[in-house]
Amino acid sequence: MVEIKNPLYNCAAPSTQTVHADSHMRATSDVSPPIGVSTTFEYAQTAIDACNYGPDQRHVYSRESTPTNLKVEAVLSTVTEGHAVLYGSGLTAVLAVLIHYKPKKIALSECYFGIRKVIDQYQALVPGVKVIGSECPYDGVDLVWLESPVNPTGEVKDIGSYALRAHAAGAILVVDATLAPPPLSYPFRQGADVVVHSATKYLGGHSDLLAGVVVTRTAKTAETLRVDRCTLGLGAGSLENWLLLRSLRTLSIRVKQQSQTAARLVALLESYRRNAVVTTCHTPSAAELSLGRLITSVRHATLQHNGPHCNFNIAQQHPEGFGAVFSITLASKTQALFVARQLRLHRFATSLGGVESLVDWRHGWDATAEPTQLRISIGLESYDDLASDWKQALLALDESEKKAAAKL
Ligand SMILES: *Cc1c(COP(=O)(O)O)cnc(C)c1O
């Protein structure tokens, strides 16, 4: 079994881990890891026959492993506090979990719509598999699938309480933590057994690679997953591996900055909304009032503190802040689409976690999403510029609503 983690970095800060956790794997004097695209590797001198490569043979064929893939997995394993296996996409990682654990009864919480589709496929392949809601009793459940934070609201679930319930029923808890990568959350600390990330989002962070990761508690489970990955050809391509390694170097600084900006924007939009409904001692300006009137709700982990869903220590689960995705709803579908198209610094496109802010109309993808809802993913632009962008978009909507009313 290959041990790829360097224990030297287990206790280092995340920003140090992502820069150095693969340093023991350097084979050249290059400071930046070279791009390698070879699918095949020469047999070592000690090779005995085609099936016994000897102890010096690290790589044979790229479906199994490559030098860059091992570096990526060393960095990911260290920063996620587990043992990471990389796949061609987030949904491939989901499939790999199902193939490995072969659950008969799955408890599923609110989640990214693609997860439900993968589970549908799994059910079609394995007759008799049952799926229930994650709030139902866990009788006979062997796998609990939890997404936290939830896509698209950015709200957080109490991982610890799901872990207790899952383990009491003899089930394992899988947490999709795509919306809060390290250093924002560490689901193993709350009792998760497996952690999944779409690396296409924050881990990649530049909207230029598709990949996914499964993180397990033990090196042994990760090794079994690698064997399945090789058998089924589920791994990521060479260039994706390299791009991911390059991107992981800045993970911590990117994600913390995105988290801070998102929290400030959520507070701004929520303050607009509140002024529209309650008039406190602060008398809002006419312009502010009209902006707030347009927003019917803002949802994000930072607004959960006083809500009915927050009877757990939400801050403890998020030592460095919350995710940089949130959602808002407007009064109508037309208004939601108007704002999505009116925003200038938030590109109107799907996905999340990149350096550029995005706004998406989830109803277009997922019929269960409200047509009035917009999902916002905050990038690395400055808070002031993003706040001005929201102001101009909401003012333009206000203007257009007034014009439409005048015509009636
Ligand atoms: C995007 C996403 C996925 C799927 O990942 P891909 O890399 O697009 O396959 C899974 N879970 C969540 C929460 C996501 O946002």
Give the pLDDT confidence score for residue 48 in this predicted structure. Answer: 62
Q: Are 275 and 289 in contact (CB under 8 A)?
A: yes
Q: Find out whether the beta carbon of 91 lies less than 6 Å from any atom of ligand 1.
A: yes
Atom of ligand 1 at shortest distance to CA of 211? 7
- pLDDT exceeds 70 at position 278: no
Distances (CA, A) of 382 to 60, 264, 268, 378: 46, 11, 14, 10
Q: Find out whether the beta carbon of 93 lies less than 6 Å from any atom of ligand 1.
A: no
The token duo for 332 is: 């109508």
Q: pLDDT, tens digit, for every residue of 71-127?
A: 999 999 999 999 999 999 999 999 999 999 999 999 999 999 999 999 999 999 999
Q: Are 166 and 142 in contact (CB under 8 A)?
A: no
| Mean pLDDT (whole number) for 318-347 | 97
| Mean pLDDT (whole number) for 166-178 | 98
Alpha-carbon distance of 46 to 9, in angstroms, equals: 32
- pLDDT exceeds 60 at position 1: no
Threshold 0.75, pTM exceeds: yes
Q: Are 210 and 234 in contact (CB under 8 A)?
A: no
* Ordered domains of the chain (ranges, CATH): 7-249 (3.40.640.10), 252-406 (3.90.1150.10)
Give the pLDDT confidence score for residue 55 in this predicted structure. Answer: 56
Q: Best substitution site from 87, 91, 326 to test ligand 1's pocket, by max atoms within 8 Å of Cβ? A: 91
User: For residue 85, what are the β-bridge partners?
Assistant: 214
pLDDT band (50, 70, 90) for residue 355: very high
3-state SS, 308-373, equals: CCCCCCHHHHCCCCCCCEEEEEECCHHHHHHHHHHCCCCEECCCCCCCCCEEECHHHCCCCCCCCE
DSSP state of 184: T
Q: Are 397 and 342 in contact (CB under 8 A)?
A: yes
Q: Which residues contact 288 (CB under 8 A, 6 or more apart)?
A: 272, 275
